[in-house]
Amino acid sequence: MRVLVAFGSKYGSTASLAGFIGEELRSRGYEVDVVDLRLDPDPEVESYDIIVLGSPVFVGKWTREARRFLESNGAQLCERKVALFVSCSDVLFPEKIESGRKMYLEDVAASVPGLRPVSLGMFGGVIDFSRYGALTKALLAGVGTKKQLAGRGIDVTSPYDYRDWEQVRSWARAL
We report the CATH number of the domain holding residue 104 as 3.40.50.360
Quick: pLDDT tens for 20-78. 999 999 999 999 999 999 999 999 999 999 999 999 998 889 999 999 999 999 999 99
Is 13 part of any domain? yes
| pTM exceeds 0.85 | yes
Is 153 part of any domain? no
Query: DSSP state, 161?
Result: E
Name the domain count of the chain.
1
Is 138 part of any domain? no
What are the distances in angstroms from CA 137 to CA 34, 58, 130? 30, 12, 9
Instruction: Report the distance separating Cα 62 and Cα 50, nearest Å.
Output: 20
- Expressed as residue numbers, the domain containing 72 is 2-125+164-174
Instruction: Report the distance separating Cα 45 and Cα 62, nearest Å.
Output: 20
Is 147 part of any domain? no
- CA max distance for the chain: 47
Is 47 part of any domain? yes
Residue 38: what residue type? Answer: R
